[in-house]
A and B are shown apart, each in its own frame.
Chain A
Amino acid sequence: EPEVTQTPSHQVTQMGQEVILRCVPISNHLYFYWYRQILGQKVEFLVSFYNNEISEKSEIFDDQFSVERPDGSNFTLKIRSTKLEDSAMYFCASRDLGSPLHFGNGTRLTVT
């Protein structure tokens, strides 16, 4: 069964540094998402992406965040200047039209 793949599995960075989290959605999927989960808390929507542009974003997704689909396979989340409170598990997800969301295994981001 095809899977959403995310790299790295764990990223440690210092406060103020930029990080890029990478995702390879399932190949025939058209809709891409980033969610985050602070340890022990619920999963929270960040942003959705379709047809090479952001379709929706949450209040969490402020100017420090950006997404990009640099080529036909990758989907990235960039955090420009990380803060301690950005420490969380970040999940990429994708879906096809009418299909449910498929989540990747996540990237654990630790900001020190």
Chain B
Amino acid sequence: GENVEQHPSTLSVQEGDSAVIKCTYSDSASNYFPWYKQELGKRPQLIIDIRSNVGEKKDQRIAVTLNKTAKHFSLHITETQPEDSAVYFCAAGAGSYQLTFGKGTKLSVIP
């Protein structure tokens, strides 16, 4: 089955700096790669997703890149703000949306 590795497990950045979180996946059949933000005690919320027919997608301060050949994808957050502090999960799946999640990255943005 699919295996998703996520790094780093924790990340601290100064407010205004950029944050990058990286994930690798193992199953070449995976074609859907969402990123979720989870605040303490709350549900995962989709922040951006990308499909395998696209190499990059951007939504304001958030961007995701996908390298299918290397089987890795990354989340980039620019101009970080304290409210970006949360746990971020990457996931990979095929059309059925049986998503395999990474272990999460706890992002702390220091004011």
Number of A-B residue pairs, CB cutoff 8 Å, is 46
Chain A binding surface SS class: strand
- Return chain A residues, CB-CB under 8 Å to B45: 103
CB distance A56 to B44 under 8 Å? no
The interface-forming segment of A11-19, A36-44, A68-76, A80-88 is A36-44
Is A65 part of the contact surface with B, judged by Cβ < 8 Å?
Answer: no
Binding site for A on B (CB under 8 A): 34, 36, 42-46, 49, 89, 91, 96-104
CB distance A43 to B97 under 8 Å? no
CB distance B34 to A56 under 8 Å? no
CA distance A41 to B6 in the complex (A): 13
CA distance A48 to B43 in the complex (A): 18
Is A52 part of the contact surface with B, judged by Cβ < 8 Å?
Answer: no
- Return chain B residues, CB-CB under 8 Å to A45: 98-101
Supply 7 further A-B pairs (C-beta < 8 A) apart from A95-B97, A100-B49, A103-B36: A45-B101, A48-B98, A58-B98, A91-B43, A91-B44, A103-B43, A105-B42
